[in-house]
Amino acid sequence: MSNFLLLPIIIPFFFGMLLMFAPKNIRFQRIGAMTGLSIAVVAAIVLLFKVKNEGPQVVTFGDWPVPFGITMVSDMVSALLVLTSVILAFFTVWYSIAAIGKERESFFYYPGILFMVTGVNGAFTTGDIFNLFVFFEVLLMSSYLLIVLGGEKAQLRESIKYILVNVISSALFVITVAYLYSVVGTLNMADISVKIADIQQPGIITVIAVLFLIVFGLKAAIFPLFFWLPSSYAAPPIPVLALFGALLTKVGVYAITRTYTLFFVHDMGFTHELLMILSVLTILAGCIGALAYFDVKKIIIYNIIIAVGVILFGVSQMNDNSLTGAMFYLIHDMLIKAALFFLVGIIIAVTGTSDLRKMGGLMKTHPALGWFYLIAAFGLAGIPPLSGFIGKLLIVRGGFEAGNLWGSLWILLSSLVVLLSVIRIFIYAFWGKEKGPLQPVDKGYYRMMFIPTIILVVLTVFYGVGSEWITPFMQDAGNILNNPSVYTDAVLKE
């Protein structure tokens, strides 16, 4: 029954293959994608409770003994991220039905999303460092399709940069894995952890740790490696941007979190100090960008970079509070970013522009949109009792415990910048006089975009208000990150 942990990877893959056979039948594409993701959500929920009740689930292919076979591991960190990713993909597909346009829908758009989810969930679940590279490539190939789909000039220009950065980072990934293998002689993550502990992390391992930080930092867009992200993410249509913003950078964040809590834990004075400094600089860079632009997409995109910094600051503190907070904040950010991109997409559809200076007066014509945007904006900034508050509070508390007063205060200050950046959108777009005629948006299409957005915003509110139900899961995840032996014992006993 431990094979159950493979279902959230296999189901999207199976349905993606199925949809490849009739790309022009849009009705079949929509129903197939929604059905596949609904089943995957149910499987991920069952898996989450299975992990909660029975501990980490492990399966090694071909009945090889660990560490020789390829191992898949679902612990609480992985199960939470897998569930969140299939939920977000489900809402993105629902939103896309109205927002993406029939031309894109009939050109392998939904299989692209399903294969991307396959890669993302595989990356979250694998217990093998080379397999992590393989799943990265699966999700990247799908993202290449999604970023160019439609072939607009801006998309094609930015996709070249996006593909180039990812090809270089993938090559560096393979080289770094080869270095690691040459030192420890294994690719199984649990086994790597034990081997590095045996040799007490000599200098060469610290060098490899920094190389991994560069590889995953490029994917996660940490300072100074975020240069490619703002313009690349602004090019594709809103549903694709929502999926990229919510999921893709988070796979890089997860990879840094996993490696820096599982293997590279014997020279924290260097590796985790470096991670902390880079995370603070990442927050600073994101704050500057979020305040500098008048483009609604760019403002939210720079908020992705701020969130990456906040999560990795929590990881760098390496105590129970900060790691639990990092998990809380990671899931919160995935949900709230998708909701905000959906809302911004509706604002752009209604006004016909993404420039704040050309918007105004939407409160008179679309009051519900305004209030839901405001709730999501407060959630992003971490206004209690909304979802961003608990995670940030725990990260700051962990920072104080670790004696990093200034870093923790900087995170609190960044909340004000986040609030200011998203409230600017509210003030410009919803208050004041109307700047021009609104775009004629079909009521049915508007409703089709608005309903999944409302449900997602309500979900983020529940995530904050109902945090006492969610806390036990997050504490389990924090505990696994803080005590690598729980993970290694589960895998190596298999």
Lowest mean pLDDT among 5-14, 347-356, 396-405: 347-356
pLDDT band at 282 (very low <50, low <70, confident <90, very high): very high
pLDDT above 90: residue 88: yes
pLDDT above 80: residue 355: yes
Of 102-106, 119-123, 261-265, 293-297, the range with the highest mean pLDDT is: 119-123
pLDDT above 60: residue 1: no
Question: Rounded to whole angstroms, how far apart are CA atoms 366 and 49?
Answer: 40
More confident residue, 38 or 432: 38
Q: 112 near 20, Cβ under 8 Å? A: no
pLDDT band at 137 (very low <50, low <70, confident <90, very high): very high
What is the rounded average pLDDT of the residues 129-149? 91
What is the rounded average pLDDT of the residues 11-19? 93
Lowest mean pLDDT among 10-14, 96-100, 108-112, 316-320: 96-100
Q: What is the pLDDT of residues 30-44, one digit of tens each?
A: 899 999 999 999 999
What is the rounded average pLDDT of the residues 73-85? 93
Name residues whose C-beta falls within 8 Å of residue 178's C-beta, 6 or more positions apart in sequence. none
Q: What is the pLDDT of residues 291-321, one digit of tens each?
A: 998 888 999 999 999 999 999 999 998 888 9
Per 3-state DSSP, the chain is made up of helix, strand and coil in percentages (nearest 5) of 80, 5, 15
pLDDT above 90: residue 440: no
- As beta bridge partners, residue 74 has 57
More confident residue, 47 or 355: 47
More confident residue, 277 or 62: 277
pLDDT above 70: residue 11: yes
- As beta bridge partners, residue 59 has 72
Q: 69 near 61, Cβ under 8 Å? A: yes
Question: Rounded to whole angstroms, how far apart are CA atoms 452 and 441?
Answer: 17
More confident residue, 109 or 102: 109
DSSP, res 55: -
Question: Rounded to whole angstroms, how far apart are CA atoms 216 and 160?
Answer: 20
Q: 467 near 379, Cβ under 8 Å? A: no
What is the rounded average pLDDT of the residues 118-142? 93
Q: How far is CA 332 from the centre of its chain?
A: 10
pLDDT band at 2 (very low <50, low <70, confident <90, very high): low
Residue 365 backbone phi and psi in degrees, to 5: -95, -30
pLDDT above 80: residue 116: yes
DSSP H or E run through 383: none
Residue 72, number of CB atoms within 10 A of its CB = 23
Q: What pLDDT is stored for residue 117 in this prediction? A: 95
Residue 269, number of CB atoms within 10 A of its CB = 8
More confident residue, 358 or 309: 309
What is the rounded average pLDDT of the residues 389-406? 89
Give the whole-number percent of the chain exceeding pLDDT 90: 46
Q: How far apart are the first and last CA of the chain?
A: 14
DSSP H or E run through 74: strand 71-74
Indicate the average pLDDT of the chain.
89
What is the rounded average pLDDT of the residues 137-161? 87
What is the rounded average pLDDT of the residues 12-39? 91
What is the rounded average pLDDT of the residues 233-238? 86
Give the whole-number percent of the chain exceeding pLDDT 70: 99
pLDDT above 60: residue 118: yes
DSSP H or E run through 442: none
Q: What pLDDT is stored for residue 132 in this prediction? A: 92
Q: What is the pLDDT of residues 248-279, one digit of tens each?
A: 889 999 999 999 998 888 888 888 899 999 99
pLDDT band at 70 (very low <50, low <70, confident <90, very high): confident
pLDDT band at 493 (very low <50, low <70, confident <90, very high): confident
